[in-house]
Structure 1
Amino acid sequence: MAAANYLPSEDQFLCSICLDVFTDPVTIPCGHNFCKNCIAEHWNTNDQYLCPLVNTLFSEMVAQFRQSAQQKASSSSSEQQVSKPGEVPCDVCTGTKLKALKSCLMCLVSYCETHLEPHLTASRLKRHQLIDPVENLECRMCTEHDKPLELFCKTDQTCVCMLCMVLDHKKHDVVPLTEEYEGKKVELEKTEAEIQQMIQKRRLKIQEIKHSGKTEAKIQQMIQKRQLKIQAIQHSVDLSEEDADREIAEGVQVFTSLKESVERGLNELINTIKEKQKTTEKQAEAFIKELEQEISELMKRSTEVEQVLRSEDHLHLLQSVQSLNIQHPPPTKDWTEVSVRPSSYEGTVVKAVAQLEETLSKKMKKLLEAELKRVQQYAVDVTLDPDTAHPDLILSDDGKQVNLGDRLSKLLRKNLPDNPERFSNSASVLGKQSFSSGRFYFEAQVKGKTKWDLGVVRESINRKGSINLGPQNGYWTIWLRNRNEYKALADPPVLLSLKSPPQKVGVFVDYEEGLVSFYDVDAAAFIYSFTGCSFTEKLFPFFSPCNNNDGKNSAPLIISPVRVN
């Protein structure tokens, strides 16, 4: 029954060489069956008479291993990322394309993780150069010779293959891509550093311009200082107005006009500064806009350079340098000397203040003219006292002129008595008239002289021996030395700065107020005042023509008649 049900399998009648039903089946010593012709041909082509039968057990093991590997690969593929738009896909994957991990420059193929494994394990494939995945690997082939572009021609600045080097670039300077890659990478890193430095400089320039552009606070501070100055001037004007109670209506009009000029000058100054501020802000905005545009261009170039520098692909880096021309920073403006200088406001302020000072000077001149007219009303007739004159002095017959005699005149001079009133060492002389109250004024011509002393003294001064001019010794005087060195002999002495050398000097004294003032009569200019003096004795006009200085100072001091304009 069992024999009736047994049906032999077709596989049992198949030759394992031709895989067909046996023809003239034979059995070899190992017990395996083959077609007679099949085993004979097999042995004829092999030196050893071995059984060609496949080890079925090992074959099954191999089949199971292959199935397991395929299942593992399938599972691994499901875990890997599917290639997205913009990413390089695996060239080996069929169906769903996985994301490539590397590209082989030898195979010109991109591989996912699974298909990359042979390049990581097989010794022959390990020698291939792997890079980050890139597209269009076919562009790495020479279009003329269909060979990999492995070299770089420095002469023509282009990538070439081996045949190109032998044929078209035989005498050119040709180096491996890796060598040129390293050189270009160093140049690009230097370019990147320069670009970053340029960006930093322009950012600093923007901060500088913004800082210099923020001048509103500075302007307000400047305006405040000028307002305080104006207040000080107005205060001085107010003080002068208090003193002008004795002046006529013209003086009041002058002060009012002065205040109006100050206020008008302030308004003009503020408007001018604001207009300049607007211009400065527009200029700063234009500079900032231009700098920001350059920074944008530099940052764009920096991004391009950084992207190229990240590439490990020698050919890609060199071709990018050639195509994008990023080896050097883009052309930019030299900002070294460019700046927004708010100091120009100082010029504006100085000019405005100068104009104000000019106006003030004119007003003050009018005030001084009025003041001079006022003090000239107290003019007195002064004559020189020969009893006080130094023996070497020569006085005119009318007592209005005095100078120092020459050597001959000294020899012929009179034997004058050495009375107590006479100066013995100092070439000086006093006026005959004395004053112990009220106000008085006189004028002396000093034209043509290089040295002179002039002022008033108290009656009890020392007239013998060495004399020290100064209020502490009873002298309120000014002098000239060395043609243009003017001093007020105060304690300490005050160096005077005069616009022009006075030709005629006016001296005014207010006994009760303790005031001694000096004026340049022709220029109607104020020279100096001793104030807060305490007079308790008679005061006398004082004159000293000083020595002749070898004839250079021979002109006399002349008491001039006062002419009130």
Structure 2
Amino acid sequence: MSSASNLLSEDQFLCSICLDVFTHPVTIPCGHNFCKNCITQHWNTKVQNDCPLCKKVFNTRPELHINTFISEMADQFRQSAVKKSSSCSEQQWTNTGDVLCDVCTETKLKAVKSCLVCLTSYCETHLEPHQRISGLKRHKLIDPVKNLEDRMCKKHDRPLELFCKTDQMCVCQFCTETDHKSHVYGPLKGEYEVQKAKLEKTDAGIQQMIQNRRLKIQQIKESVKLSNEEADRETADSVQVFTALIKSVERSLAQLIEMIEENQKRTEKQAEGFIKELEEEISELMKRSAEVKQLSHTENHLQFLQSFSSLNPAPPTKDWTQVRVHSSYGEILRRAVAQLEETLSEEMKDLCADAELKRVQQFAVDVTLDPDSASPYLILSDDWKQVTCGDVEKKLPDNSKRFSYCSCVLGKQSFSSGRFYYEVQVKGKTEWDLGVASESISRKKQIKASPKTGVWAIWLRKGNEYKALAGPSVLLSFKWKPQKVGVFVDYEEGLVSFYGVDAATLIYSFTGCNFSEKLYPFFSPCDNNDGKNSAPLIICPVSHTN
């Protein structure tokens, strides 16, 4: 049998429908042979029961029986193909998870291709017939995959090679001639590429979302870190403030006790004086009483009368009915408490302002003046830290950043988030403007500074008139003349605050600001006024208050 099989052509063992070696071969009445499953599926899709080769039509579907002779010959052919795979042992062994060859009987080797017609995966040796036999060459080979049956149409037992766009599902060629005949469909590869592109776009969006959330985690962690640092500073400042207040209370208590003790000493001294005076009067009155008693015992009328007329007059005495020894300690306590409240209020205000100034100074930044934004009348120092107003307009390029009508200049640095602080010396000036401005501030016409025009600033006019340019302006008054002004901005909080650095006092705060663009430090030394306002505005390094 084996020698006979070697004389036969390999094409004689191929089913003309599936073009593969016969599986359960059957012979129909016209004499042609097919795989039992192949001819059955063929008749299931046809109106008539005909032969795929000679087209002979059978009135009734023939009863199918396995052709044992052809089946044995097909098995012999398969075995001879397996014997030719003696070099299989020299191939690379598979790793866990690889697709295995379905033909290898003992040690399974790694599959190199899967056949969509045979529904079988082959190693390099067992794939050889598909590369040599003309019928097998027409089979659809793909990279090895598991579960090949999932790639076959359940209804037609054909490879799923097309994609129905109407029903959004994979179909075989027979499906396009039956259930999906009028639908829109195309190759799997084309739909794969379209959907893969969408998937890559989706993945890119997901990756961006992941990146954004990781960034948000970092921001939250950084916020927690900053919050912890600020909490430590606030705790230290609070301890300092309350320690100072406790010391002030202790001093006031000591002064009150000393006052009470001094008052008690004065009361005791006054009482001692009254007692001594009363004792002296008692002594004199006792002497008078003794003389009166002695005279009252005289029986001689003449002697009595003579002695009575010569009796010493009564010693002078004081009216003691209104004399009181009393001290009102309640009034002392009330005055002391009132004074303590006033003192504590002032000290608390000063201590809190000092602590607040220390806190904002932690956000100090290095600010320099931007010469490209400076008005032609302004004179900037070489280090861009000082600005004064001259009397002569300089010839400068009129760029879009330059102020043309106002004697203003912006800082070179911009801020669009976070907190920042800087200090400016205003000593010797009679007029100035300080604050921050938005990037879109008008630079080619007169500015009426207010938050509506993108300026958050305070100014000095006439040497003693201070205002916050809040639109309308707010008149500011304080007991001292600021020599150095600190400017603090919390972008997210919408806060702009001004501090008198030398007095460690809050001057004014803009709150509830809605910042939506970059902010720049804003300076105006104002006009020279014939030398009366010639002192420069000076950006100073921040020296933290003690």
The two structures have a TM-score, normalised by structure 2, of: 0.42
Structure holding more helix per residue: 1
The two structures have a TM-score, normalised by structure 1, of: 0.40
